[in-house]
Amino acid sequence: MENKIPFNLAFIGSGISSTFTLYHTLKKLEKKEHGGTTRIAVVEKFETFHSGIPYGERSGSTTLLITSLKNFLPEPELSEFIEWLNKNKQRLLNELEEQGGPLSLEWIQKHHYELENNQWEDLFIPRRFFGYYMDEKIGTVVQALEKQKEVSVSYIRGKVIDLAQNEGAWEIHFKEQSPIFAEKAILAIGSLPSNYLWKRKKRFKKDNFLLINDPYKPRLSKTIESIRDFAFQSKEAINVSIIGANASGLEMLYQLNDHPDIKERINHFYMISTQGLLPDSKIDHTKLKQFKTVHLDGLNKKESLKASEIAEAVYLDLDLADNIKLGASSTVGIVSQKFGALLEKLDRDELERFACHYGNQIGRRQRCAGEHYANVARILKKKKKFTHIAGRFADIIPNPSGYELVYTDQDNLPQTVEKPIHIVINCISGITLSHPNIPKLIAGLISKNRIQANESEIGIRVNNEFEGAENLHVIGPLLAGNIIGGKAVWHVEHCGRIIAFSKMLSDFLVDDSPYNFELDIIQLNQQEGIDSYKHLIKTEWNNNPYYLYEYLSHHKSDNNKIIAFNFKVNGASTIVMPMILREIEVSEKPFYDIISPYGYNGPLYEEGINKQIIKKFWELVDEWYSKNNVVSEFVRFHLNGNHQNYSGETVSTLNNVFGPLMNNFEEQWDSFVSKVRNNYRKAEKEDLTIKFYEGTAIEDHHIATFYNIYVSTMKRNGASKMLYFSLEHFEKMILNNKENFTIILVYKDDVAISTELVIHLNDCLYAYLGGTLSDYFNCRPNDYLRVEVIRWGIEKGKSHYILGGGITNGDGLYKFKKSLFPNSTDRVFYTGRKIINKTKYDELCELVCGPVNEKETGSFFPLYRMKPSS
């Protein structure tokens, strides 16, 4: 069979999902030792590879992204793309200027300053730019690996009509050429096609009427040409109807108005969509302050939920937004954040139900667009040349006076567009998998029970390895309706999701065993190691503040070495864990124990990671411990569940207050224990003021002020030596990573009397260290500070304020923190304990402590480091 299987992998479809999966697969192969050439086929039925419809020739050079660039791409891809844009800017803008019309020129002129200064993040750039980038990106990797004979990539143009399993391989059949064979096939054919209206033809022209059922077949430029020809042949000004107000509908409106010769021949535009609303383009900050997600917030106290309850709450809150004329651009962030958090309360069945039945429905009410697109409709409407109708397409009726377009209104009654229609452009959403006209390839696979549609009717059921069938993997929009990495999936056209899923899938495409494990030890007592670690945390781990070198460096000493485990899977950094390797001084021979730094730490990895990978990480770490005379390990875990699958003993150590921030401060205020509100009122009477120093506003003297109050508090409370950090430590940590920290100072008569250093991680605020001058306790500055931080966090759109716990569970410190969030569910802070060398551990305990009485020692670990009581 070997000569019959020329390909190890065959990608069916060459859009963005396929291309990112191919890229990540190639990058894994690049770093992997393997004994031969990996043979890859990339199959595409259209002319261009690696860009799909949105980013390739079929959409043209002038269509724009529907979101800003910073919301389109996650890091580090965003920075890499911007670097490429800077290098290729002039060529790209010249092409846009040559091929575009007045709207394209207006875009260039409007953003002249940003383009001149390489400020791309907030721009809604032409999509073709990204297509060029991806083609070049993948081409560079392919060329390098082919030169080294590590891979061979064959590009095949053809239409796949069937897939059949044949002696352990997939036999891929084409419409007009011989089949090929592959060990693994990747189905990446994009979205399901649109439902054709009226005629089963992609284009229909008769008399003074033109129907375009697919504006991207064969490409948008051909559609524009056919509209131009029709418009010039027409003896009268024409009326155009666009069916659908999604991204394609807006693009068609924009494109027709970017061609002056066509625009001047169009009398009126009619757009028909279910809601009768265009995607929103502007954030209304004033009305957003009035908006409250009362129905979603009302579900917070429930321990378990159903998918329908969350969806209904979203609809009701969006209705409230509609009542005050607040659009999706304003509400999408807060509503998505709120219902996203509630999804964690769903069991797997309910989560799948949400993915299949509710996610896309909510998405239709949260559509946003760039202002450049929205302005076209706004200007046309002002000129009385644009009408948006709420309804659904019903029929087209020819009559002597012209073609009538019939639609059903929101009361399900038939209506007719007021004027004869000359051009109808179909931009409605795709069909479902139960539709009789689904693509032949998918229809055949389903009818032969090789794959199954899930309940969403737009996605294929897959397992944890993205398989619809054995060695037939699915990527792209057909993943809708699945649970992947513990998350509900209903829309896979956002680049961030595509990149994440493509990385996950690539793990299963290299060799029979998907994983190649490697454990690197980075020495943070050497400059080379420090530089390597800093680069790793910045480029691969988003500069997570709890893992910054400057955060860890405090623990370095003559007897303590800082190391970091960098666990790679198929060459990619997958788990990072910094630790402090401590020499055990009482031992004659060199023995060590290992402990994680102060704070929330432990293994750092992406959510949804395969638990087998975590177990393998601990297995290799334990092997390293054994080989390097490590006697015991003590781990302080984070609050994100990274204690799970630990190879030692996990101990529930301390309840931590994990405070959810509500949508508005008034509601949060009402939730406080009355003592907090009373103390805050007392503080107000003392005329206290508060200042937040963040980002570039942080200066040396702010750190010094914070430090002085912090140290005085530590001394007053007789704090552990471990909690004393030097001023130099804070300066290096904060000044080198200003974006991760905020210094908060409360003043009385211009004297700083209370402080807190807040760490920013994702959308959460973590109270790190702080203090209050004892002479000012009666002013209640601590209550005042915490309440004002909560107010500030809500204004910043943060989701949680994490205050930590007490010294022991239920003590006064914990109760004070809990009084701010009395209804919240605590997160448990876990620690991990592990004895690697039991014989040596017992020997050390006997040497240092004598006979051990566990009742007296409690949970102290390791016992041989416990100071004997005097």
Looking at the chain, the whole-number percentage of residues with pLDDT higher than 70 is 97
The reply to whether domains 2-61+126-192+434-506 and 517-647 share a CATH topology is no
Longest dimension (CA), the chain: 107
Separation between Cα atoms, residue 90 and residue 97, nearest integer Å: 10
Q: How sure is the predictor about 2, in pLDDT bands with cuts at 50, 70 and 90?
A: very low
Buried b (16+ CB within 10 A) or exposed e, 498-530: bbbbbbbbbbbbbeeebbbebbeebbbeeeebb
Q: So what's the architecture of 656-829 in CATH?
A: 3-Layer(aba) Sandwich (3.40)
Q: Which residues lie below 8 Å from residue 294, measured CB to CB, with a gap of 6+? A: 317, 320
Strand partners, 386: 269
Check if the beta carbon of residue 43 is closer than 8 Å to that of residue 160: yes
Going from N- to C-terminal start, the domains of the chain cover 2-61+126-192+434-506, 203-278+368-426, 285-364, 517-647, 656-829, 837-870
Residue 494 or 10, more confident? 10
7-12 and 38-44 as β-strands: parallel, antiparallel, unpaired? parallel
| Tokens describing residue 21 | 């999966």
Residue 210 or 869, more confident? 210
| Tokens describing residue 595 | 């402990």
In this structure, what are the phi and psi dihedrals at residue 289, rounded to the nearest 5 degrees?
Answer: -65, -25
| Tokens describing residue 211 | 């129907």
Model pLDDT for residues 79-103, shown as the tens digit of each residue:
999 999 999 999 999 999 999 999 9
Q: How sure is the predictor about 156, in pLDDT bands with cuts at 50, 70 and 90?
A: very high
Class in CATH terms, 517-647? alpha beta
Q: So what's the architecture of 2-61+126-192+434-506 in CATH?
A: 3-Layer(bba) Sandwich (3.50)
574 pLDDT above the threshold of 90: yes
Region 192-220 average pLDDT: 92
HEC per residue, 705-769: HHHHHHHHHHHHHCCCHHHCCCHHHHHHHHHCCHHHEEEEEEEECCEEEEEEEEEEECCEEEEEE
Mean pLDDT, rounded, of the chain: 92
Separation between Cα atoms, residue 655 and residue 769, nearest integer Å: 18
Model pLDDT for residues 808-829, shown as the tens digit of each residue:
999 999 999 999 999 888 999 9
Class in CATH terms, 203-278+368-426? alpha beta
Residue 88 is predicted with a pLDDT of: 97
Residue 440 is predicted with a pLDDT of: 94
Considering only CA atoms, which of 263, 630, 614 is closest in space to residue 423? 263
Model pLDDT for residues 56-68, shown as the tens digit of each residue:
988 888 999 989 9
Q: How sure is the predictor about 271, in pLDDT bands with cuts at 50, 70 and 90?
A: very high
Cα torsion 103, 108, 112, 115: sign: positive
608 pLDDT above the threshold of 80: no
209-212 and 423-426 as β-strands: parallel, antiparallel, unpaired? parallel
Q: 0.85 cut: is pTM over it?
A: no
Residue 855 is predicted with a pLDDT of: 44
Residue 432 is predicted with a pLDDT of: 94
Q: Which residues lie below 8 Å from residue 72, measured CB to CB, with a gap of 6+? A: 65, 130, 495
Neighbouring C-beta atoms of residue 705, cutoff 10 Å: 18
Region 602-609 average pLDDT: 88
Strand partners, 472: 185, 469
Q: CA torsion, points 79, 80, 86, 89, in degrees to nearest 10?
A: -120
Region 777-792 average pLDDT: 96
Q: How sure is the predictor about 235, in pLDDT bands with cuts at 50, 70 and 90?
A: confident
Check if the beta carbon of residue 456 is closer than 8 Å to that of residue 490: yes
Residue 847 is predicted with a pLDDT of: 84
Q: Which residues lie below 8 Å from residue 41, measured CB to CB, with a gap of 6+? A: 6, 7, 9, 10, 11, 153, 154, 156, 180, 182
Q: Could you tell me where the DSSP H helices lie in 631-726?
A: 665-671, 674-685, 700-717
1 pLDDT above the threshold of 50: no
Q: How sure is the predictor about 3, in pLDDT bands with cuts at 50, 70 and 90?
A: very low
| Tokens describing residue 298 | 């009302």
512 pLDDT above the threshold of 50: no
Separation between Cα atoms, residue 381 and residue 386, nearest integer Å: 5
Region 864-869 average pLDDT: 74
Half-sphere exposure of 833 (CA within 13 A, CB side): 10
Check if the beta carbon of residue 11 is closer than 8 Å to that of residue 156: no
413 pLDDT above the threshold of 60: yes
Separation between Cα atoms, residue 178 and residue 206, nearest integer Å: 39
Check if the beta carbon of residue 249 is closer than 8 Å to that of residue 212: no
CA–CA–CA angle 347, 493, 377 (5° rounding): 120
Q: Which amino acid is at 228?
A: R
